[in-house]
């Protein structure tokens, strides 16, 4: 009888650590119902997680970075390979791109673009047409219970890779002229009788492969992947490449002093968000007009699983002296976020850009 009594008198309280598994929606709703609302991570609705960034960690790459945002950690490596134009099927030379100044800073389009800007706009078709910039992210590394190791690429990984590629093209981050390898024949080789001139000749392109590995999945992976990509590209160094007419091939200099950093034209900063609404059985109890909801930025993996509506706002933070430049607005599921909500998210996006600039300045100060 003593043993039976001790069993009935045992503590049956559910540990707090088990609540996210037993009732995730109820747990998140209980935190957001506070005044003021607080998330389970003790953040406010518009508070971002701290960022840790390191560049140049992988010495065998042309550029690399390691990004940690909350519990999300991504390693990124950039490798540059030479693509001769003779290996491109049906290649056609865009002669205007050969005369662009590689050192001149790019200018933002403001209505009517200059001739140089129009040429660079046409050159972006070259990057996408010949796949000169190729990002790829790997999630099947055991980074979370949903992504087991040694499995084929998941739909989410392919989706993030495509979004990264799309943003690279939309933002025109990399100049086509920086990827061109031009050969200018010497003046003494010109012969009008033989039809030989000294016009610059496009011989090859640099192809940029951006490989990322997510080693810890803690939510908002696209943001972390883009920051890792951007920081790695800022860290990328291309050797001096020249065309050798005698060998008929591209040769790269081994002198570090002759190498050059890749120049990025803009600074796209994405800000992810998600909308949490209580379960339907609780909505009737809460009453009020409309559906009660909370808009969260920089969501972690626990919050993402509890939210049905999500999205991402990307702005260009390269120049703060100009009006806010919105590159894209993405939204998936639901219909709660209206224009007023978008305006509030734009304020959060500007705060996000300031955080990114501070982190990048600290990591890239020695470049």
CA–CA gap between residue 75 and residue 65 (Å, rounded): 6
Structure tokens at 213: 């590995």
Answer yes or no: is pLDDT of 191 > 80.
no
- In a domain, residue 162? The reply is yes
Residue 162's pLDDT is what? 96
For 25-65, the pLDDT digits (tens) are 888 888 888 888 899 989 999 999 999 999 998 989 999 99
Please state, rounded to an integer, the average pLDDT across all residues of the chain: 82
Domain count, the chain: 1
The answer to whether 164 and 157 are in contact (CB under 8 A) is: no
Answer yes or no: is pLDDT of 105 > 80.
no
Answer yes or no: is pLDDT of 310 > 70.
yes
Residue 81's pLDDT is what? 95
- In a domain, residue 110? The reply is no
- In a domain, residue 130? The reply is yes
C-alpha separations of 41 from 51, 58, 70, 259 in Å: 15, 32, 10, 45
Residue 189's pLDDT is what? 60
- In a domain, residue 98? The reply is no
For 240-274, the pLDDT digits (tens) are 998 888 888 899 888 888 899 999 989 999 999 99
CA–CA gap between residue 161 and residue 101 (Å, rounded): 31
- In a domain, residue 99? The reply is no
Q: How confident is the model at residue 287 (pLDDT cuts 50, 70, 90)?
A: low
Residue 94's pLDDT is what? 56
Answer yes or no: is pLDDT of 136 > 70.
yes
Of 313, 304, 309, nearest to 332 by C-alpha is: 309
Report percent pLDDT > 90 for the chain. Answer: 44
Q: Is 68 helix (H, G, I), strand (E, B) or coil?
A: strand
> Of 81-90, 188-197, 322-331, which gets the smallest average pLDDT?
188-197
For 314-330, the pLDDT digits (tens) are 999 887 666 788 999 99
Answer yes or no: is pLDDT of 8 > 50.
no
Q: Is 72 helix (H, G, I), strand (E, B) or coil?
A: strand
- In a domain, residue 299? The reply is yes
Answer yes or no: is pLDDT of 232 > 80.
yes
- In a domain, residue 274? The reply is yes
Answer yes or no: is pLDDT of 102 > 80.
no
Comparison of pLDDT for 2 and 303, the residue scoring more: 303
Of 310, 303, 299, nearest to 335 by C-alpha is: 310
Comparison of pLDDT for 143 and 110, the residue scoring more: 143
Residue 257's pLDDT is what? 87
Residue 247's pLDDT is what? 87
Answer yes or no: is pLDDT of 111 > 70.
no
- In a domain, residue 230? The reply is yes
Residue 94, Cα to own-chain centre: how many angstroms? 29
- Which residues span the domain enclosing 154? 28-87+117-365
Mean pLDDT of 211-227: 95
CA–CA gap between residue 359 and residue 364 (Å, rounded): 9
Mean pLDDT of 226-233: 97
CA–CA gap between residue 336 and residue 334 (Å, rounded): 6
Q: How confident is the model at residue 5 (pLDDT cuts 50, 70, 90)?
A: very low
């Amino acid at each position: 009888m003593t043993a039976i009594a001790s069993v009935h008198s045992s503590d049956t309280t559910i540990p707090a650590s088990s609540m996210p598994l037993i009732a995730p929606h109820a747990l998140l709703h209980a935190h957001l119902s506070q005044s003021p609302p607080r998330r389970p991570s003790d953040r406010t609705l518009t508070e971002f997680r701290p960022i840790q960034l390191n560049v140049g960690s992988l010495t065998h790459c042309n550029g690399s970075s390691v990004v940690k945002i909350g519990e999300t950690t991504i390693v990124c490596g950039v490798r540059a390979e030479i693509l001769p134009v003779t290996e491109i099927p049906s290649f056609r030379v865009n002669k205007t791109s050969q005369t662009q100044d590689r050192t001149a800073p790019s200018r933002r389009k403001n209505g009517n673009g200059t001739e140089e800007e129009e040429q660079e706009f046409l050159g972006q078709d070259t990057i996408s047409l010949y796949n000169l910039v190729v990002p790829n992210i790997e999630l099947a590394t055991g980074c979370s219970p949903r992504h087991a190791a040694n499995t084929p690429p998941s739909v989410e990984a392919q989706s993030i890779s495509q979004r990264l590629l799309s943003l690279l093209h939309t933002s025109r981050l990399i100049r086509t002229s920086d990827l061109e390898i031009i050969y200018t024949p010497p003046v003494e080789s010109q012969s009008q009788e033989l039809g030989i001139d000294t016009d610059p000749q496009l011989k090859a392109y640099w192809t940029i492969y951006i490989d990322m590995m997510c080693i810890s999945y803690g939510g908002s992976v696209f943001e972390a992947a883009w920051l890792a990509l951007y920081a790695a590209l800022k860290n990328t160094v291309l050797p001096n490449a020249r065309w050798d007419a005698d060998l008929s091939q591209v040769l790269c200099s081994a002198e570090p002093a002759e190498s050059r950093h890749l120049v990025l034209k803009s600074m796209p900063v994405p800000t992810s968000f998600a909308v949490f609404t209580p379960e339907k059985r609780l909505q009737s109890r809460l009453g009020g007009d409309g559906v009660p909801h909370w808009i969260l930025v920089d969501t972690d993996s626990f919050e993402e699983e509890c939210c049905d509506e999500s999205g991402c706002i990307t702005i260009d933070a390269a120049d703060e002296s100009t009006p806010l430049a919105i590159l894209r607005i993405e939204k998936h599921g639901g219909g709660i976020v209206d224009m007023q909500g978008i305006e509030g998210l734009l304020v959060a996006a500007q705060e996000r850009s300031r955080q990114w600039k501070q982190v990048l300045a600290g990591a890239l100060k020695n470049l």
